[in-house]
Amino acid sequence: MAKKSTRRQRIGRRNNKNRAHSRKKSSAQPPLNERILRYLQTRDTPASTAMIMQELSLPGFARKATKETLTSMVKQGKILQKNKQFQAKDNQGLSQATLALTSGGLGFATVDGQKKDEKDVFISHNHLGGASHGDTVLIRLLGTTSRGRQEGIVVRILKRSVTTLCGLYVEDTKGAFLLPDDPRLPFTVFIPKKSRKRAKNGEAILARITDYGTEKKGPSGEILEILGDPLTVPVQIRMAMEKLGLDKAFPDEVLKDVEQLEPLRDCKHGRRDLRNIHHVTIDGADAKDFDDAIAVEETSKGYRLHVSIADVSHYVQAGSAVDKEAYKRGTSVYFPNLVLPMLPERLSNDLCSLVPNQDRPAFSAILDFDRKGKQIRAEFCRSMINSRMRFTYDTVHQILYLKEQATQKEHQQLLPMLTAAGKLSAILRKRRHKRGSLGFNIPEASIQVQDDKIVSMGHAQRNEAHLLIEDFMLAANEAVAETLSRARQDVLFRIHERPDPVKVSTFTEAAGAMGLHLAKTDISPAWFAGVLDKARDKPAEYVINNLLLRTMQQARYSPENLGHFGLAAEYYLHFTSPIRRYPDLVAHRVLHNFLVQKTGKGEPLTVLPKQEDLAQSALHLSGRERVAVDSERDVQARLAGLFLLDKIGEEFEGVISGVASFGLFVELFDYFISGAVPIRSMEDDYYHFDGRAHRLIGERSNAIYQLGHTVRVRLEHVDMAAKRITFSLVEDGNEIKQDNAAT
């Protein structure tokens, strides 16, 4: 069994010295004319030869070469000379962009107004000009790289993205430093003695940058808060929040406005009284906000479905302080034992929450279906409802699908409604599957935290009751989208575009290498649904689902209805979760205005905060959604590392989820945790990488490690700083499989 790491090793401090030095090192300097031009473009006033030499740290013997370079640049029209001073021309030929850095220090700049299919501009380490991840910069194009990508150079930093940051406090003979928690930040922050606040070596701290320094001298800052032991769940979650700029607390102005809101209990002003309808909510056991309630009844023609959604638009007026903060956040973010809500708790957990036995304002979609699940009528109204019961998914599963008599008897009064709901759900799902809607079977992580300790990690359990609610929410979203699209109303659609044919071809090749022989590629939802059906219940189902998902485009918000490929839906938007998603609130306001326009009753609502339009909002809200997804994944990776810290040397079963020239990626079956097996640790043979077949092949033994194969691994190292988990293969426990993994 491998020797257990010490606490010092486990938080990654043994790598900190190398990490700090690697951030400071630089390769060959750019040509002198490039350095001079970049320096002059960062200045608003002319500079003399002496000033240029001093700023660029040029030695005295370089004076002649500097003068000659300046003269040449003036003749070429690259710079201007007045008397004995030099300055750059206006910002002609420069582009404003947002810089993104990789953990390896490479830069990619997204130019303002860049088209969707255009690639970001590559910025080498030497051309960053002191800029960091997320900064708004001016760049100048230099040409194209050998791979055909445009290359540029940062000539001016317009706005710093990072003003505060988290990291580890490290003190040595050279002073005290903050090592950034975000590996994309290519610097360490010097902490002067007066600003250290009694921080201890290895503690997590939050600091503010007070001086960004220069290319030669790194930034310095002051400690704002000592967060504590980085090997605890709350500190890791807090560091993730700071890394992505997520706020837990709401501004005082927002809280004050929310406290002044009066609950609506009367069914007035054109609201339809639906309190006689037996609505229920069905959510997870830990849910605190209930933004959707359903009711189903059998009719002579088929079924009537009520989907009633919390009427957030009644309480949150566009342009108000509450609305602006909700728009800024865009979505709620969910961590283990912690929610960062889009709306303050009084709204999300009280006024807007469809709690049982309380009158609540709602926006209702009343949908009629025939017995084959075809929608034959759709009606929408602002309503007043009273939920009869707060069900959990498990309880509904016991009633409808496990047929537990005791639970059925306990809820006898609602059993007819639930039975009708179960029937309609099955019909709608079958109809949706027939048209080609994709049913990905990718489990989600379930992390249980108790007393700030991780007690378990694994797969979140989903049952038929989850699918029942999903069926009804999809039906309501599609119905609202179709109604507003046909009426030519401006709204935010949820679109999912067709996959890139090149990616589909790559997927087909990988699936074939795993033994999943597919029909001729047809880029249609039905073809993809057929692939998922073929892989269902096969050993490599998880890998196939993941690979197929990666071929897909990201779903996003758009003012243009382009359809939803994954759902095989011509019309789709988000309507059913306005407590936690801002685009749903937009849909509510637009639908209300449409009903006012149609009936002539009521007053229209402002849809968005002032100075916002749908195109701008679509970009912003799609971006906020990606931040939420990234932050949830980041926290999952952090907690996975914490969970495994005391399991060094233990062995696990897993599936090879990726193959690269440098090794294997393995996903553990029991814990939903991924790690890498470096090829250098596979010392029993010399392995060749077969990229087309997604496998490693042993030169002497002909042993094969194939994408989708099951393997046994040993945990070797957990690097909390890099959020990296390293395994090694257990030779005796690996039966090399050369048969078809998917079949």
Q: What is the pLDDT of residue 28?
A: 56
Residue 92 has what pLDDT?
64
Measured between alpha carbons, how far is residue 109 from residues 17, 368, 374 in Å?
29, 50, 48
CA-wise closest residue to 343 among 76, 551, 583, 579: 579
Is the pLDDT score of 15 beyond 50? no
State yes or no: pLDDT of 246 exceeds 50.
yes
Q: Is the pLDDT of residue 26 over 70?
A: no
Q: Residue 573's pLDDT is what?
A: 98
Share of the chain above pLDDT 70, in %: 94
Rounded Cα gap, residues 600 and 594, in angstroms: 10
pLDDT of residue 736: 47
The confidence score (pLDDT) of residue 35 equals 85
CB 407 within 8 A of CB 348: no
pLDDT of residue 523: 85
Q: How are beta strands 280-283 and 389-392 bridged, if at all?
A: parallel
Average pLDDT of the segment spanning 516-526: 80
Question: Is the pLDDT higher at 185 or at 400?
Answer: 400
Indicate the average pLDDT of the chain: 89
pLDDT per residue over 433-477, tens digit each? 999 898 776 778 889 998 888 999 988 888 999 999 999 999 999
Of 300-314, 370-384, 698-712, least confident by mean pLDDT is 698-712
What confidence category does residue 20 fall into, taking pLDDT thresholds of 50, 70 and 90? Answer: very low
What confidence category does residue 234 fall into, taking pLDDT thresholds of 50, 70 and 90? Answer: very high
pLDDT value of residue 13: 42
Q: What is the mean pLDDT of residues 52-79?
A: 90
DSSP 329-379: H-B-EEETTEEE-SS-HHIIIIISS--BTSEEEEEEEEEEEETTS-EEEEE
Q: Which of 20-29, 313-322, 452-461, 717-726 has the lowest mean pLDDT?
A: 20-29
Contact 1, 48 (CB under 8 A): no
Determine the Cα–Cα distance for residues 54 and 164; give it in Å rounded to an integer. Answer: 30
Give mean pLDDT, residues 144-159: 86
CATH topology of domain 94-159: OB fold (Dihydrolipoamide Acetyltransferase, E2P) (2.40.50)
Residue 158 burial (CB count, 10 A): 12
Provide the pLDDT for residue 734: 66
Mean pLDDT of all residues in 546-551: 86
In contact, 621 and 583? CB cutoff 8 Å:
yes
- The predicted pLDDT at position 578 comes to 98
- Domain(s) labelled CATH 2.40.50.690 in the chain stretch across 94-159
pLDDT over 70 (residue 88): yes
In the structure, what pLDDT confidence band is assigned to residue 742 with cuts at 50, 70 and 90?
very low
Where residue 587 falls among pLDDT bands split at 50, 70, 90? very high
C-beta separation of 583 from 480 below 8 A: no
Q: How far is CA 377 from CA 294, 332, 365, 396, 407, in A?
A: 17, 33, 10, 27, 34
Structure-block tokens of residue 631:
């932050």
Q: What average pLDDT does range 5-12 have in this prediction?
A: 43
Average the pLDDT over each of 4-13, 86-95, 189-198, 500-509 and give the range with the smallest value. Answer: 4-13
| pLDDT in the model for residue 660 | 93
Which of 641, 630, 722 lies closest to 233, judged by CA?
Answer: 641
Q: Do residues 62 and 52 make contact, with C-beta atoms less than 8 angstroms apart?
A: no
113: pLDDT strictly greater than 50: yes
Q: Which two tokens stand for residue 28?
A: 């060959």
Residue 9 is predicted with a pLDDT of 40
Q: For the purposes of burial, counting CB atoms within 10 Å of the CB of 640, is it exposed (0-12), middle (13-18) or buried (19 or more)?
A: buried
Amino acid at 129: G
State the Cα–Cα distance between residues 628 and 635, nearest whole angstrom.
11
Instruction: State the pLDDT confidence band at 716, using cuts at 50, 70 and 90.
Output: very high
Rg for the chain, CA atoms, rounded: 29
Would you state the pLDDT for residue 733? 60
In this structure, the number of other CB atoms found within 10 A of the CB of residue 416 comes to 13
Out of 309-323, 422-436, 454-468, 529-543, which region has the weakest mean confidence (pLDDT)? Answer: 529-543
Q: Is the model's pLDDT at 241 over the cut of 80?
A: yes
- 15-29, 64-78, 715-729: lowest mean pLDDT where? 15-29
Tokens at residue 249, please?
A: 């607390």
Q: Running DSSP on this structure, what letter comes out for residue 738?
A: -
- The predicted structure's pLDDT at residue 27: 45
Position 542 confidence tier, pLDDT thresholds 50, 70, 90: confident
Q: Which tokens hold the place of 136?
A: 């708004």
Cα-based angle 579, 583, 587 (whole degrees, multiple of 5):
95
How far apart (Å, rounded) are the C-alpha atoms in residues 189 and 180? 8
Q: Where in the chain is the domain with CATH 1.10.10.10?
A: 31-88
Nearest to 154 by CA among 165, 138, 142, 166: 138
State the average pLDDT over residues 490-506. Answer: 92
The predicted-structure confidence for 346-374, as pLDDT tens digits, reads as follows 999 999 999 999 999 999 999 999 999 99
- In this prediction, residue 712 has a pLDDT band, given cuts at 50, 70 and 90, of very high
Q: Which residue has the tokens 């001073």?
A: 85
Domain 31-88 listed as CATH 3.20.20.70: no
- Return the bridge partners of 123, or none: 107, 152
Q: First vs last Cα of the chain: how many Å apart?
A: 35
Please name which of 641, 493, 639 lies closest in space to residue 561, comparing C-alpha atoms: 493
H/E segment holding residue 177? strand 175-180
Q: What is the mean pLDDT of residues 668-689?
A: 93
- Whose tokens are 């034959």? That residue is 376
- Give the whole-number percent of the chain exceeding pLDDT 90: 64
Confidence of residue 131 (pLDDT cuts 50, 70, 90): confident
Q: 336, 340, 395, 397: which is closest to 672 by C-alpha?
A: 336
- Letter for the amino acid at 208? R
What would the mean pLDDT of 58-82 be, rounded to a whole number? 90
Q: Residue ranges of the alpha helices (H) in 436-568?
A: 464-486, 501-513, 525-535, 541-551
Kindly write down the DSSP assignment for every residue of 540-604, as one continuous string: THHHHHHHHHHHSPPPEEESS---BTTTTBSS----S-TTTBHHHHHHHHHHHHHHHHHH--S--
Residue 174 has pLDDT above 90, yes or no: no
Rounded CA separation 492/740 (Å): 45
167 pLDDT tier (thresholds 50, 70, 90): very high
